[in-house]
Structure 1
Amino acid sequence: MCILIVDDSMLNLAYFKQVLSEAGYSNIETAVSAEDALSRLGMSEGRVPRKAAAFDLILLDIVMPHMNGIEACRLIKSCPPYTDLPIIFLTGDRRHFKEAFGAGGMDFIEKGAPEYELLARVQSAIRLKKETDIRKSREIGLRKELQLAKRVQKTVLPPPLIESGIEIHAQYIQSDEVSGDMFYWTRIDEKRCGIMLIDVAGHGLSSALISMSVRSLLDGIVKRLSEPSRVYLELNRQVRSLFGGSRDSIYLTAIYLLIDEEAREIRYFNAGHPPALFLQADRKAQYLENTGVPLGIRKTIEGRGGICRYDAPGKILLYTDGLVETPRQSIRGGIADLEKYASRIRYLPNDRFAEKLAVLGQGKNDDVCIVSVQLN
């Protein structure tokens, strides 16, 4: 614990140092000017230190020659390593208070005030500094954990699938370090492919944990059951089993496609998710609309699904609602705008098509996932 006292009066420096020393503060440094103080902080000649000097508190005189305490405080507080360093002003004139607090000072001590007042204010400032340091340390730790969680989350995302009959590419845009959105695809056999996009209600770490839990189930469920109606029922059962006892309402929207390249069929379920768009040349976009309620809302649901047949190449666009949510516009309006734009660029290679659409998701307040499926 280190205190820096800044005053152009040697008498004042000696007095404050003695009072603090007798109260048990042993690590005390003094500076005879604002410039001297800035040098101790590594800020002389306008430098910005990479790391803060080891001071927990500055007692700063206001009235000093050359640079006064208010100007020095303003410079210190504008330096990133010192934004949380408490500064208590030493003054014999209350006229400076408004400007001093505006510069970033947290408290003041009037010269000539009782010693107990000085010690009480110093103790309060150091306690605040300690609490701030603990909070910042926890924030740094949490940020590192979130970054690790983000890397882990990305490792479970499948790589692009590029085959003669089908191509799948995706874009993943997170509003937080981690996201409740998740996409998945797998080969079920030589002719069938399963593709799913899920969107857990909410944002941040809790949604990410839920999406990762659901992701861990998908390989077993999709490869074992494959048919949309059966996958829908089993996923709902599992979500209810995992999270049904929670006080909070936990649910997720999802869309799942079973693409049969031999039969040229797309069988699917849509559990409360925005409709997928099936885009083909010279044809109006087909909407793969809602077929059931979101997963986890009800214990008992009907395993209904939809079917879409195709006889020509096309693209299927899956996306989460973050892509089509715009202030002062309905979701339907956002989907209509997305359809127009996607139809105009559907001729692009599948990876470029997904990248172009991802630009629409930049700067959103919600997570955005985009999956583009090219049927050749």
Structure 2
Amino acid sequence: MTTNAEHLDITGLIGHREAVDGELTLTEVYRYFAGHAFEFVAVLEQERPLGICSRAGLGMLLGHQYGHALYARHKVRDHLVQDYLQVSTSDPLPRILSAAFARDSSVFYDDILLTDENGVFLGMIFMRSLVILQNRFFLKNITTLELQQEELRQKNLQMHSDLQLARQLQQTFLPRSYPLFPQTCTANSSLIRFHHLYRSADLLGGDFFCILPISDFSAGLFICDVVGHGVGAALITSMMRALVEGSRSLAASPQHMLAQINRRFFEMLNDHPHAIFATAAYLVADLRAQKIQLALAGHPHPVIINRAQATCRAIEPEPELVAPPLGILPETEFQVVEQPMQAGDMITVFTDGLFEVFGPDQQLFGRERLLLAMTEHAGLSPDALFAAVTSDITRYADNRPFADDVCIVGMEITGFPG
């Protein structure tokens, strides 16, 4: 590829040619996204583009509690990305570069739609390809391609090193050891024991959980799933961690705890041009009362697994008791669901990346299969159970890795105070 801007063939920058018909439903397009890793696809009508559709935007529409019911049958042509950039092979390359680099930061890295001079779709250009190209123009004094490649390699190494450092920092957010109940006991005699499995889809993830000791015989467990994954989601989890820490005084009250986190989360991101939200669950286990209290913000319902009885049952609150995700409405009222608990119960919370997995036939693994898998392995130790369930799901997906972050946390009740 020449670095002469006036003679470069722009079609050489096409990163992919993924496209869907504008008449497809959002559910069909969501399944189409599951078959590849690209974040954007073109939406066409008789080979001519109507616009582009984003994986993240589609996920936000279908991902909240009522999203699938409201939007599943909508046509994708009615849910296109706003302010997308479309260019033609007849456009001079300097004009294309100028338009691409002048975009707002919120859409800066969106793919660019390319057509021929007659408006027929040719493919999608990655913004990073234009960034690399522009850098090459600036580096015209470098005499050999090897030097250019070496510089790019070093930049990639630096970026990878930075991401590794960020990953290490994010890992420090997760517990390295668990609190004891009561705090004077040993790990083997603790009345509440915790177990977790965490896998991020990228180097950085958007799932987060936190254990909050309330008293010697009471513990809180917070879990959240920020929309998306990668660097942006990881930054939001950092904010969420700070909000949880700042709300510790309300840890004994699930509804007030979530209300304060939600209000502050909304205030922090209210001016952001794109919707940012997080599903969350917060539960408190009270050993003296032998019950759990749970508040939900659009999050998957927890399950209770009893190893001794080899049983698994879902906590199924009434729909009106489940609030929308954090960050959508500033004054959301959260309701509490109470459940009795018995010795041997393990209250298990998880993010939707665990079960929103498609098989080769594009059938969703789903919550029902998840409950069956957990029931099948209920007699195993918590760590072995988590490993067995995730292994079952991976096999269902034809051994493809999880496309979204996965977090599972178990709060095991070993007994009650005398």
The structural deviation recorded for 1:278 is 1.2
Distance in 2, matches of 1:340 and 1:185, equals 27
The structural deviation recorded for 1:341 is 1.4
2:221 and 2:282 in contact (8 A); partners too: yes
Q: Could you state the TM-score of these two structures normalised by the residue count of structure 1?
A: 0.62
Distance in 2, matches of 1:129 and 1:235, equals 52
2:383 counterpart residue number: 351
Match of 1:326, SS state, is coil
- Structure 1, 262-271 or 125-134: larger mean CA deviation: 125-134
- Structure 1, 229-238 or 300-309: larger mean CA deviation: 300-309
Shift in CA distance, 360/251, structure 1 to aligned 2, threshold 3 Å: farther
Distance in 1, matches of 2:175 and 2:379, equals 24
2:332 counterpart residue number: 301
The answer on 1:314 being equivalent to 2:345 is yes
The structural deviation recorded for 1:350 is 2.5
Shift in CA distance, 184/236, structure 1 to aligned 2, threshold 3 Å: same
The structural deviation recorded for 1:357 is 3.2
2:196 and 2:407 in contact (8 A); partners too: yes
Match of 1:285, SS state, is strand
The gaps in structure 2 that reach 5 residues or longer are 1-139, 179-186, 395-400
Shift in CA distance, 271/166, structure 1 to aligned 2, threshold 3 Å: same
- Structure 1, 127-136 or 177-186: larger mean CA deviation: 127-136
The structural deviation recorded for 1:143 is 0.7
2:75 counterpart residue number: none
Match of 1:220 among 238, 246, 249: 246
Deviations 1:92-113 (A, max 9, x none): xxxxxxxxxxxxxxxxxxxxxx
Shift in CA distance, 285/225, structure 1 to aligned 2, threshold 3 Å: closer
- Name segments (4+ residues, structure 1) moved above 6 Å: none
2:274 counterpart residue number: 248
2:218 and 2:285 in contact (8 A); partners too: yes
Deviations 1:25-72 (A, max 9, x none): xxxxxxxxxxxxxxxxxxxxxxxxxxxxxxxxxxxxxxxxxxxxxxxx
The structural deviation recorded for 1:233 is 0.5
1:170 counterpart residue number: 196
Shift in CA distance, 225/349, structure 1 to aligned 2, threshold 3 Å: closer
1:279 and 1:315 in contact (8 A); partners too: yes
Match of 2:348, SS state, is strand
The structural deviation recorded for 1:302 is 1.4
Distance in 2, matches of 1:361 and 1:159, equals 26
Q: Could you state the TM-score of these two structures normalised by the residue count of structure 2?
A: 0.56
1:341 counterpart residue number: 373
Name the aligned partner's letter for residue 211 of structure 1. T
Distance in 1, matches of 2:312 and 2:402, equals 28
Name the aligned partner's letter for residue 339 of structure 2. C
2:168 counterpart residue number: 151
Shift in CA distance, 329/271, structure 1 to aligned 2, threshold 3 Å: farther
Distance in 1, matches of 2:350 and 2:381, equals 18
2:283 and 2:295 in contact (8 A); partners too: yes
Match of 2:323, SS state, is coil
The structural deviation recorded for 1:211 is 0.3
| Fraction of identical pairs, as percent | 27
Residues 1-376 of structure 1: pairs in structure 2 closer than 5 A: 126=143, 129-161=146-178, 162=187, 163-280=189-306, 281=309, 285-289=313-317, 291-327=322-358, 328-330=362-364, 334-360=366-392, 363-376=401-414
- Structure 1, 359-368 or 123-132: larger mean CA deviation: 123-132
The structural deviation recorded for 1:269 is 1.0
Shift in CA distance, 355/139, structure 1 to aligned 2, threshold 3 Å: same
Shift in CA distance, 339/132, structure 1 to aligned 2, threshold 3 Å: same
Shift in CA distance, 126/288, structure 1 to aligned 2, threshold 3 Å: farther
Distance in 2, matches of 1:239 and 1:317, equals 25
1:350 and 1:373 in contact (8 A); partners too: no
Shift in CA distance, 254/201, structure 1 to aligned 2, threshold 3 Å: same
1:183 and 1:198 in contact (8 A); partners too: yes
Distance in 1, matches of 2:171 and 2:243, equals 17
The structural deviation recorded for 1:132 is 3.8
- Structure 1, 202-211 or 345-354: larger mean CA deviation: 345-354
Name the aligned partner's letter for residue 374 of structure 2. A
Shift in CA distance, 159/262, structure 1 to aligned 2, threshold 3 Å: farther
Distance in 2, matches of 1:223 and 1:354, equals 32
The structural deviation recorded for 1:250 is 0.7
Distance in 2, matches of 1:178 and 1:361, equals 22
Distance in 2, matches of 1:370 and 1:361, equals 14
- Structure 1, 146-155 or 213-222: larger mean CA deviation: 213-222
Shift in CA distance, 283/346, structure 1 to aligned 2, threshold 3 Å: closer
The gaps in structure 1 that reach 5 residues or longer are 1-122
The structural deviation recorded for 1:164 is 3.0
Deviations 1:163-199 (A, max 9, x none): 5321111011111111011111121111110101111
Distance in 2, matches of 1:135 and 1:223, equals 49
The structural deviation recorded for 1:128 is 5.2
Match of 2:378, SS state, is coil
| Higher Cα Rg, which structure | 1
Instruction: Figure out how many residues of one structure are paired with residues of the other and give that number.
Output: 252
Instruction: Provide the aligned C-alpha RMSD in A.
Output: 2.3
Distance in 2, matches of 1:240 and 1:273, equals 17
The structural deviation recorded for 1:282 is 6.6
Shift in CA distance, 135/361, structure 1 to aligned 2, threshold 3 Å: farther
Match of 2:245, SS state, is helix
Higher helix share: 1
